[in-house]
Amino acid sequence: MATFRFDNTARLIRRFSSIKVNFDKEQEETVSKFQKENLPAALAASKCFNDKNEIRKKLQDYIACYSVAELYETIIVSAILPAMKSRDHLDSADLIQHLKQVFKVNEQQHNELMNTAKAKQLPQRRLNMQVMEAKNLPVTDSNGCSDPYCVVFVSSREVARKTEIKFETLNPVWGKKFAFEVSDPSEDVLVLEVMDHNGDESIGKKIKKIKEVRSAKTCLILMKEFAHLRSQQELIGSLRIPISEISSETVERWFQLTNRKQKGDIYLRMVLGYNKCRNTASEEFLQIIHFLLVHELEDDASLDNPFNWDDNYIKWSNYILRQFKWQAVVKPKDVVLAKWRAYTKMNDIFPLKSNMLYLLLNAVLERMLHDKYDSRDISLFWESNSIFVNTVINFLASIHDVLPCSVTVVNINHMIRSVGLLANFLSDSSTSTLHGNEELTTSIISDRVVASLRDGANKFYAKVFADSSSESTHEHTESDPMALYAALEKLLQVGQILHEDLKLGLTTIHTTLKETLNIDYMGIVYQQYDEQFGTAVKAILKKYNRMLHRTDLYSSDTTTEANIIAEKMVESVYKLYLTVKNLAKLAPAENSSETRKISLMHDYHDWFFPSVDKWIDTLRRRIINGIKYSIKLLEENRTSSTDSTDSEQSLHKPDGNVTKKLTISTCAWDAVLRFQDIYKLWTDLDWHHAQQSYIIVKKIIEEVYRYLSCYSEQLLETICKKEPKVDVDEAIIIEYIYEACKAINSINYVREQVELQELEINIPGIIENMRKLDLRSDVGVIDVHFSMTKQEELKRADDVIQGFINSLVKTVLQRYLHLLQDVISAEGCTTMSRRIRRYSANRFRVLQFTGRCWILLYENLEEKNFLCVMIKIWPKVMDGFKKNLRRGIEMGKSSRWFFQTYKDLLFHLSTHWSEKVKSKIRKEHPEVFVQNDLLETRLFFLDMSLVQLKIYYYDCRHTRQQLTPVDHSQHGILTVRACLVEKEECIIVEVINAQNLKPYDCNGYSDPLVEISLMPKESYANSVNLTTKWYRKTLYPQFDEKHTMYVIT
């Protein structure tokens, strides 16, 4: 495999051939450059983190409306001061330090606020607790289980509260919350009793329980039930905890139940809080969240990572929230609402993690459906929703700038889903009482989102066009090719950036908007781009098409600056077409509610159609120049390298029942790749207009077949320059034969690939489509014209192959006849021994040369080409054998000499002509072997002695007589030959034989003889009658007698 040559070929193709080869790469570079220049600024603007100090200022302004002193005292009471005594906690110093940082107070301020909180009259205390679960309860029922429930009260059983009953379990789970007023924390006691429920059962049900008895203990329990010794509520275990032992800090652990002895364990969560108004507690909780959230976000690490904070507070912040929530009895519905209110406001300043907001909103809506909110809560909720929707609208307006950022896009998708939740909630008539005011409705949200998307698309287009535009887009471009080229390049960049933007939008947020809000993102954005970009493309193409018809701008010299700019413009227009085509592929369906007729999708083919000829012409020049340059490189590489494999490739191809490994030039691979470029042009065009498609395809295919003939002729011209003379070294002739075979294989390979590419284009299908659409009345005529053009170019390629074959035949025969002449001239030597040695040497050279030629031709040519060569060579070879044979007869050679010549002929036949090939040639070209058969017969007879010839002659004649059909109603057949000799006035009669004579004797035979006389006897009375010998008992006599009969009148 030719690595050196193939690498050069690849570079050559990139340089000279396809004008699309670097389109994708160029588009990627254009988009990458634009994003690199604009994305950081866009992200900074959309996320507001370009100035951290500005963000910190906004965060501080956000909490400036709250009273730090009052809130700080509240947290001291809820999180620091214990219930009855000074709080003793190992990490209290860390907690205090954390509070100082959150509220930005110094040591002196902290001490003053601490003293104020201690001296402050505390409000009514309240015990907030949650009975979580119990484990390892004792068995109280005959089935080996219990039916436990809890009774809880503080000091007086009158305020007792109960959990639900958990049937047939020893490890119940309740999760029930209770709150009890505490009048005197130093005296009050929390009492918890775990009871077993025993309902009223009939005797029949109790009898059935006998089957459940598993032990003596359960049997005793059942007996008590029969004896009515069990009450309906039976104490399992109890727990007493003085209120004074429950601090402000949440207590959460397992406690032992007792009833004269340990009766299992129960898990409780308790905290001693204060009796606060629900609204007050919710607002204070909201303010605490604000301060803690600002503290979480204002450090550099957080500001460097927008969309990252996900409701995970640091240790002490989380502790403060938990303590306040428990002490102030902030209900779960108030917790999620407060977080939603805080986070939506904060998200408007600095983006939080949108997935967290989505889940939080979902939780608030669930609470609204199942837990009743008052009108104040509903109003506050929708006020926060308005802020959140505004934030999302602002993000969508700048979505095009940040689409390349995957993190931002993921979070915007979650924002859209959150807005979709709100829209679905508003569209549900069953929740109309929870909809708040009419500032937000489903239609209002959809309209605002659509308006935001349109505005964002227009701004993005204006930004891209401004970044890519220049003075060259003005009116004077029509008279200035350089300005027009610059304008085309700039517009091309705009289209590439818009295409990438549409692709990103389609793969990122289009589906989300469609599923959540039923908004067609692609339809909205595409319509804005189509109106503006389509207008710009159409206008500049009009200028370009007018410039194409101006002959005063160009000259015949392709190296002039004007022509170079013109060729660059052709590339730019083609790339612009590819860009517009790609944009049109992204066009939404016309029945979309957000779209109208798309000009790019419907009209762009008509805009670009006048330019197609220029594309093909430019590609033709590059391909032809590339073919010439490729063949030139092939020749330079072949002459400069001793290894011919650097300029060739192997091709395995079926040939009859075998697969031949044929050799082709690398320039053939080059040519095929170049031809594929023009077929790729048709694929890239993706033209849908049937009549225009036919015009383009017809020109493309005609050009490609012209390229085929051009390649063939260039190769023939190059190879035939090396055609060797007769007297050159034999190795040079063999090398030339090999090169010619490689050239023939190369042309055939290129031709096959061209025909395959034509089949892929399917021009008959295009013509049939034209016929169905009735676009032209002369469809049949243009089809015939196209076929004739194609056949003409194929004939030119075939003529080139025929030229190579003629050159091969000429080269081989010249050398062969020259060597054969040396064999014949060997008789001119003076001595017999020298004559024999020279004859043998020359004869060996002939056989060696023809053998090498035949093998080389057979192994390096397809069967059809090999036969074509041999059909022309073989008769000439037979002529050489005939000359050699005639010379031998004239010189009176012995039968041994003829026998050796006969062996030479058989050598050629058996070595280079397989039976399949010989039978095929005899059938298709019988004239080729006529001389061969005659020569073989003559050599066969010349090799025989006289006796052998006579025996063979009689045997053949007898066989022919036996096989000749005869009508037995006749007397038989007599074979004679007669010749009139006028000078001697006589007739020479040769009686040869007779066959199938009629038997006249009783033994079934006859005794024939032949009598010769002249008739009528009256005229030749003086002539003598002649007779042959008499043969006994035969019906097939062999006379072979010659008689002379004189004519005497």
DSSP string across 468-502: H--GGGSGGGGG-HHHHHHHHHHHHHHHHHHHHHH
pLDDT confidence tier of residue 912, bands split at 50, 70 and 90: low
* 705/715 Cα distance (integer angstroms): 15
> Which tokens sit at 374?
């008052």
Residue closest to 331 by CA, chosen among 289, 375, 371: 371
* 330/275 Cα distance (integer angstroms): 11
Contact status, residue 262 vs residue 256, Cβ threshold 8 Å: yes
Which of 391-405, 608-622, 651-665, 836-850 has the highest mean predicted lDDT (pLDDT)? 391-405
Position 790 scores a pLDDT of 72
* 250/323 Cα distance (integer angstroms): 6
* 962/960 Cα distance (integer angstroms): 5
Task: Tell me which DSSP letter residue 276 carries.
Answer: -
Number of other CB atoms surrounding residue 178 within 10 Å:
21
**Single-letter code of the amino acid located at 236:** I
> Is 132 a residue whose pLDDT tops 90?
yes
Radius of gyration of the chain (CA): 55
3-class secondary structure per residue, 736-749? HHHHHHHHHHHHHH
List, for residues 145-199, the tens digit of each pLDDT value. Answer: 888 999 999 988 888 999 999 988 999 999 998 888 888 877 889 999 999 887 6
Position 358 scores a pLDDT of 92
CA torsion 536-542-548-549 (nearest 10°) is -160
Q: Is the bond preceding residue 724 a cis peptide, omega within 30 degrees? A: no
The pLDDT mean for the chain works out to 76
Contact status, residue 276 vs residue 330, Cβ threshold 8 Å: no
Residue closest to 697 by CA, chosen among 803, 592, 601, 789: 789
* 652/663 Cα distance (integer angstroms): 9
Position 1025 scores a pLDDT of 85
Which of 36-45, 117-126, 551-560, 930-939 has the highest mean predicted lDDT (pLDDT)? 117-126
Residue closest to 869 by CA, chosen among 933, 915, 925, 919: 925
Position 452 scores a pLDDT of 93
Position 16 scores a pLDDT of 34
pLDDT confidence tier of residue 47, bands split at 50, 70 and 90: very low
Residue entry with tokens 């050239």:
743
Contact status, residue 195 vs residue 157, Cβ threshold 8 Å: no
pLDDT confidence tier of residue 755, bands split at 50, 70 and 90: confident
Sign, CA dihedral 402-408-414-419, equals: negative
- pTM summary value: 0.63
Residue entry with tokens 């490189």:
633
Residue entry with tokens 């790609």:
582
* 918/929 Cα distance (integer angstroms): 9
> Which tokens sit at 847?
């056989």
Find the DSSP H helices in 861-987: 863-890, 895-912, 915-924, 930-942, 946-963
Number of other CB atoms surrounding residue 123 within 10 Å:
11
Contact status, residue 12 vs residue 629, Cβ threshold 8 Å: yes
803's enclosing H/E stretch is: helix 779-825
Could you tell me how far CA 239 lies from the centroid of its own chain? Answer: 71
Residue entry with tokens 């364990």:
265
Please give the backbone phi and psi of residue 631, each rounded to the nearest 5 degrees, phi first: -65, -35
Position 893 scores a pLDDT of 65
Residue entry with tokens 């100035």:
51
Find the range with the poorest average confidence among 168-177, 662-671, 831-840: 831-840
* 258/239 Cα distance (integer angstroms): 7
Residue closest to 497 by CA, chosen among 24, 30, 26, 21: 30
> Is 133 a residue whose pLDDT tops 90?
yes
pLDDT confidence tier of residue 90, bands split at 50, 70 and 90: very low
Q: What is the total residue count of the chain?
A: 1049
Position 449 scores a pLDDT of 92
> Is 134 a residue whose pLDDT tops 90?
yes
Average pLDDT (904-926) is 66
Position 8 scores a pLDDT of 38
> Which residues are CB-contacts of 14 (< 8 A; sequence separation ≥ 6)?
21, 22
Residue closest to 884 by CA, chosen among 870, 868, 897, 869: 897
> Which residues are CB-contacts of 756 (< 8 A; sequence separation ≥ 6)?
none
3-class secondary structure per residue, 56-89? HHHHHHHHCCCCHHHHHHHHHHHHHCCCCCCCCC
Position 207 scores a pLDDT of 55
Which of 743-747, 879-883, 940-944, 991-995 has the highest mean predicted lDDT (pLDDT)? 991-995
| pLDDT higher at 889 or 26 | 26
* 126/185 Cα distance (integer angstroms): 9
CA torsion 289-293-294-297 (nearest 10°) is 180
Of the chain, the percentage scoring pLDDT greater than 70 comes to: 69
Task: Tell me which DSSP letter residue 248 carries.
Answer: S
Average pLDDT (250-257) is 87
* 904/842 Cα distance (integer angstroms): 13
Contact status, residue 985 vs residue 1045, Cβ threshold 8 Å: no
List, for residues 408-454, the tens digit of each pLDDT value. Answer: 888 889 999 999 999 888 888 777 777 776 678 888 999 999 999 99
Rounded to the nearest 10 degrees, the angle between the axes of helix 690-720 and helix 763-773 is 150
Residue closest to 586 by CA, chosen among 465, 502, 504, 477: 502
Average pLDDT (633-654) is 57
* 458/464 Cα distance (integer angstroms): 10
Sign, CA dihedral 326-331-332-334, equals: negative
Residue closest to 168 by CA, chosen among 195, 145, 136: 145
Rounded to the nearest 10 degrees, the angle between the axes of helix 779-825 and helix 730-761 is 170
List, for residues 796-817, the tens digit of each pLDDT value. Answer: 777 877 877 788 778 777 777 7
| Angle at the Cα of 701 from the Cα atoms of 699 and 707, rounded to 5 degrees | 100
**Single-letter code of the amino acid located at 336:** V
Position 20 scores a pLDDT of 45
Position 450 scores a pLDDT of 92
| pLDDT higher at 11 or 324 | 324
Sign, CA dihedral 500-506-507-512, equals: positive
Buried b / exposed e across 327-338, counting CB within 10 Å, b at 16+?
bbbbbebbbbbb
Average pLDDT (113-123) is 74
> Which residues are CB-contacts of 831 (< 8 A; sequence separation ≥ 6)?
none
Average pLDDT (985-1000) is 86
Q: Which residues pair with 799 in a beta bridge?
A: none
